Chain A
């Protein structure tokens, strides 16, 4: 298996532009998570899906952020409009729903820079 695949690896955009980050989870996994990593705040869970349904989006910082999972093999995280403070590394992770001892597999991340 190729693992969790994220694209693009790097994104540089101007403030106010729309940004879309993409994720393909591991085939057969039914939970998908979006995390944001910054030096100041560490790793933050933004939203997670179970069987393609958003379960908890309380970590999404603002209405400018939205996420979708139209099917079991694809998810997007969109920021519109983007702001410089959104600059971070965004990780997607997937897992098989378990009883709390399930490993989460991470993608390599998308490094977003908003100028």
Chain B
């Protein structure tokens, strides 16, 4: 099945710093790619997604570009805020069908200091 590897945290940054969280994947074909975010005490929620190569997903100032040549989907934000402190998960379908659930990276804990 498909798999994903993301950088481990915690990542600690100051407010307004530039953020990159690396994610690489191994997959059959070209599945959709996702970033989910988990705020303290809550479940995961979709942050952004990209459904095909070279697509850029974006939401709340975050962006990620589907790079098939490097099998990567790195998450970026130009200026982080304290409210961005959370755990971020890169994900893709377990297999090509997509209806069988997502496989997630281990998660990257992001801490933004004022």
Contact = CB atoms under 8 A, between A and B. Distances in A.
Interface residues of A, number: 25
A106 B44 contact: yes
A106 to B, nearest CB: 3
Given A42-B107, A103-B49, A33 B98 contact: no
A48 B42 CA distance: 21
A71 interface: no
A105 B105 CA distance: 17
A31 B42 CA distance: 21
Contact of A101 (B44, B51, B103): B51
Interface in B1-58: 31-32, 34, 41-46, 49, 51
B100 A55 contact: yes
B98 A106 contact: no
A50 interface: yes
Q: Which of B31, B32, B102, B103 has the most CB of A within 10 A?
A: B102
Interface of B: 31-32, 34, 41-46, 49, 51, 89, 93-94, 96-107
5 contacts: A43-B44, A45-B101, A55-B100, A102-B99, A104-B101
Interface of A: 4, 31, 33, 42-43, 45, 48, 50, 55-56, 91, 93, 97-109
Given A106-B44, A106-B45, 5 more contacts: A42-B104, A48-B101, A56-B101, A100-B32, A100-B98
